[in-house]
């Protein structure tokens, strides 16, 4: 059994590996394109995943998580850069659909591993099976990927510039809000005695379903009303959702709030990634890497920030803070979609 201190250090290793790789991937991608980075990330994940089940000490596990996080960060940034390139080449809105499939893939992957472990397949055998499937998928997609890249462009920094600063901040806010729902929704529901402990996860489940559904419909919505209105009205819905959750005295009100948060926030991040690819202050690959890094930092900092506010005041007060942050997204919608 791993105590909380060791677990925190292990998660820190995973986060540091991811963030370091995200910053480097933007620079490498700018020169060589997203295709080799996607392949490298997939191979890295496939190689390290089974090794995680064999780690004998926290130090070994931490080192492996550092490499795993680096592979994950590389793949995350490269996939989003490639999504921007594919969307530009097609002339259609596709980003929301890509993010929806990411969510669906996570659900299928966790269900697949749960099934294997439940039938006593074993941790090593289960992770090897997952790695094999990833390698097969990598082999299948390799010839179908765009090369991209700008050889010799000379750009070496993913530090945000100009409008990318605002895009990065809004991405961090949105990811922070999503992470807070994941980590704190059950406690908020149960501590307010809105639901029993056994049903504490209902809020996050409804949030996840609403977000995935919203992203599946997102490309159609963006095609009809555009990036600005999608971001504006989506953030308003999410803000109202957080207010409902923070003030709810009935379970169904809180449940409605989580649905609104998921539906409203579902297409904000896809719009932000699209705008990062469209701006001209920085190369698209570096801009996507910058906002990805800030977004991941938001996920890491979110639970701690909510916990800090909750300790000083209360958990509902922390959700009021999230509502205020989402309101900043509403205020900024026009600026980032000019």
DSSP string, 104-129: HHHHHHHHHHHHHHHTT--HHHHHHH
DSSP 8-state secondary structure symbol assigned to residue 142: G
Average pLDDT of the chain to the nearest whole number: 89
* 3-state SS assignment for residue 146: coil
CATH for 163-336 (3.90.198.10, 1.20.1250.20, 3.40.50.720, 3.40.140.10): 1.20.1250.20
166 pLDDT tier (thresholds 50, 70, 90) = very high
Rg of the chain (C-alpha set)? 20
Instruction: Determine the Cα–Cα distance for residues 338 and 322; give it in Å rounded to an integer.
Output: 25
CATH 1.20.1250.20 placement within the chain: 4-144, 163-336
pLDDT at 274: 94
| More confident: 3 or 259 | 259
3-state secondary structure 45-87: HHHHHHHHCCCCCHHHHHHHHHHHHHHHHHHHHHHHHHHHHHH
pLDDT at 154: 54
| pLDDT (average), residues 183-200 | 86
Calculate what percentage of the chain has a pLDDT beyond 90. 55
Is the pLDDT reported for residue 5 higher than 70? Answer: no
| pLDDT (average), residues 162-183 | 92
150 pLDDT tier (thresholds 50, 70, 90) = low
310 pLDDT tier (thresholds 50, 70, 90) = confident
107 pLDDT tier (thresholds 50, 70, 90) = confident
Instruction: Determine the Cα–Cα distance for residues 301 and 172; give it in Å rounded to an integer.
Output: 9
Write out pLDDT tens, residues 194-239.
Answer: 988 878 888 888 999 999 999 999 999 999 999 999 999 999 999 9
Is the pLDDT reported for residue 306 higher than 90? Answer: no
pLDDT at 214: 95
Instruction: Determine the Cα–Cα distance for residues 120 and 132; give it in Å rounded to an integer.
Output: 19
Cβ contact 194:248 at 8 Å: yes
pLDDT at 151: 53
182 pLDDT tier (thresholds 50, 70, 90) = confident
List Cα–Cα distances, 94 to 89, 168, 221, 282, 306, in angstroms: 11, 21, 11, 22, 33
* 3-state SS assignment for residue 312: helix
153 pLDDT tier (thresholds 50, 70, 90) = low
Write out pLDDT tens, residues 75-88.
Answer: 999 999 999 999 98
> 4-144: what fold?
Growth Hormone; Chain: A; (1.20.1250)
């Amino acid at each position: 059994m791993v105590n909380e201190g060791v677990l925190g250090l292990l998660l820190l290793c995973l986060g540091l590996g991811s963030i370091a790789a995200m910053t480097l991937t933007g620079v490498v991608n700018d020169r060589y394109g997203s295709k080799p980075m996607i392949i490298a990330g997939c191979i890295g994940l496939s190689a390290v995943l089974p090794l995680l089940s064999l780690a004998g000490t926290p130090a070994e596990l931490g080192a492996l998580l550092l490499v795993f996080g680096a592979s994950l960060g590389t793949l995350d940034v490269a996939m989003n850069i490639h999504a921007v390139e594919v969307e530009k080449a097609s002339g259609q809105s596709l980003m929301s659909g890509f993010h929806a499939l990411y969510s669906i893939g996570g659900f299928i992957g966790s269900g697949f591993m749960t099934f294997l472990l439940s039938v006593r397949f074993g941790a090593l055998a289960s992770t090897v099976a997952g790695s094999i499937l990833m390698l097969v998928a990598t082999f299948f997609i390799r010839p179908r990927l765009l090369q991209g890249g700008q050889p010799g462009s000379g750009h070496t920094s993913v530090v945000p510039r100009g409008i990318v600063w605002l895009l990065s901040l809004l991405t961090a806010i949105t990811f922070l809000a999503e992470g807070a729902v994941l980590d704190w929704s059950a406690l908020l529901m149960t501590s307010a005695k809105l639901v029993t402990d056994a049903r504490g996860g209902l809020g996050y489940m409804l949030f996840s379903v609403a977000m995935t559904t919203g992203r599946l419909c997102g490309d159609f919505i963006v095609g009809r009303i555009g990036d600005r209105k999608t971001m504006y009205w989506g953030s308003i819905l999410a803000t109202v959702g957080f207010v409902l959750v923070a003030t709810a005295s009935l379970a169904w009100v809180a449940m409605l709030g989580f649905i609104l948060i998921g539906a409203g926030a579902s297409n904000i991040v896809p719009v932000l990634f699209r705008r990062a690819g469209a701006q001209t202050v920085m190369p698209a690959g570096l801009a996507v890497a910058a906002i990805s890094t800030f977004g991941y930092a938001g996920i890491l900092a979110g639970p701690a920030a909510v916990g800090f506010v909750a300790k000083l005041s209360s958990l509902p007060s922390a959700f009021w803070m999230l509502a205020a942050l989402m309101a900043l997204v509403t205020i900024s919608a026009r600026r980032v979609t000019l």
